[in-house]
């Protein structure tokens, strides 16, 4: 109790009470269950805005914004995707995990007939299925503790925590960059002539600006 009183709220926030931890856990559990029921109206609107922006730039499958029927069709597909996610890793996810594991082990376990490698994939899929089921049931004690720790963390603590997760973040960014590169090539191949012309003109303008000599200006005395 004495230690709690010595905390200066100007430099360090007070730790959440047990009641606050339980309230956060209940709210987080409700959020996860709502996610499983399907996209909310906000998510539908957000998807509509993204597709409308793609259509305006000529990067989507259509040059017009999605209709109400298309929004509902996307919502149904997304709902089925979430249900399938909860049931466990798909064949694509298993293959991707096996490929990453093989890279770390410096041998191609994904394409080998080694029964040990196959058993590792099955075991990982079982653990991942249990993890997803536990996620839906609500935050674990470890998640509650981690949430409470973040509430009292100052900037230096958050920065240190970010450095600890740097390797995972970098790996994720590289993967997204690879996907974005493929998507950019596909998008440019499907882009409208007007968008392509605009990109070319913008590149030419940037090239002229970078090669032009610096402007001279008078220095006032």
Q: In terms of pLDDT, which residue wins out, 2 or 17?
A: 17
Chain segment 70-120, per-residue pLDDT in tens:
999 999 999 999 999 999 999 999 999 988 887 776 554 444 455 567 889
pLDDT tens digits for 141-164? 999 999 998 888 765 555 555 555
- Spatial contact of 119 and 111, defined as CB atoms under 8 Å apart: no
| Amino acid 198: pLDDT | 77
Q: Report whether 58 contacts 190 (CB < 8 A).
A: yes
The domain limits of the chain are 19-87, 89-150, 162-203
pLDDT of 124 > 60? The answer is yes
List helix spans (H) across 10-114: 18-37, 41-57, 68-87, 91-105
pTM above 0.75, yes or no: no
Let me know if 39 is exposed, middle or buried by CB neighbors in 10 A (0-12, 13-18, 19+).
buried
Q: What distance in Å separates the CA atoms of residue 101 and residue 210, rounded to the nearest whole number? A: 45
Q: Torsion-angle region of residue 213: left (phi > 0), alpha (psi -120 to 50) or beta?
A: beta
Provide the pLDDT for residue 109.
44
CA distances from 2 to 5, 6, 11, 173 (A): 5, 7, 17, 45
Residues 157-178 have a mean pLDDT of 62
- pLDDT tens digits, residue range 205-218? 777 776 666 565 56
Q: How confident is the model at residue 56 (pLDDT cuts 50, 70, 90)?
A: confident
Mean pLDDT along residues 165-194: 69
> How many whole angstroms separate alpha carbon 68 and alpha carbon 90?
30
**Average pLDDT over the chain, rounded to an integer:** 80
* Dist CA 51 CA 47 (whole Å): 6
Residue-level pLDDT at 199: 78
Task: Return the closest-CA partner of residue 61 out of 216, 179, 187, 165.
Answer: 187
Q: Which residue has the higher pLDDT, 202 or 159?
A: 202
The residue ranking higher by pLDDT, 5 or 85, is: 85
pLDDT band for 63, please (50, 70, 90 cuts). Answer: confident
**In contact, 25 and 135? CB cutoff 8 Å:** no
């Amino acid at each position: 109790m004495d230690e709690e009183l010595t905390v200066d709220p100007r430099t360090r926030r007070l730790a959440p009470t047990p009641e606050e931890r339980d309230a956060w856990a209940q709210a987080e559990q409700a959020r996860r269950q709502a996610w499983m029921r399907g996209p909310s109206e906000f998510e539908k609107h957000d998807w509509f805005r993204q597709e409308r922006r793609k259509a305006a730039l000529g990067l989507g499958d259509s040059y017009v914004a999605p209709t109400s029927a298309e929004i509902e069709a996307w919502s149904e597909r997304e709902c089925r995707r979430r249900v399938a996610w909860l049931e466990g890793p798909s064949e694509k996810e298993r293959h991707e995990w096996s490929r990453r594991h093989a890279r770390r082990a410096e041998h191609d376990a994904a394409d080998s007939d080694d029964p040990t490698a196959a058993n590792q994939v099955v075991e990982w899929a079982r653990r991942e299925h249990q993890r997803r089921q536990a996620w839906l049931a609500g935050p674990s004690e470890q998640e509650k503790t981690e949430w409470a720790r973040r509430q009292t963390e100052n900037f230096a603590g958050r920065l240190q925590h970010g450095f600890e997760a740097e390797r995972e973040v970098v790996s994720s960014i590289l993967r997204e960059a690879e996907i974005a590169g493929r998507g950019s090539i596909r998008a440019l191949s499907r882009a409208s002539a007007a968008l392509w012309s605009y990109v070319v003109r913008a590149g030419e303008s940037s090239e002229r600006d970078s090669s032009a000599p610096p402007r001279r200006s008078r220095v006032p005395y």
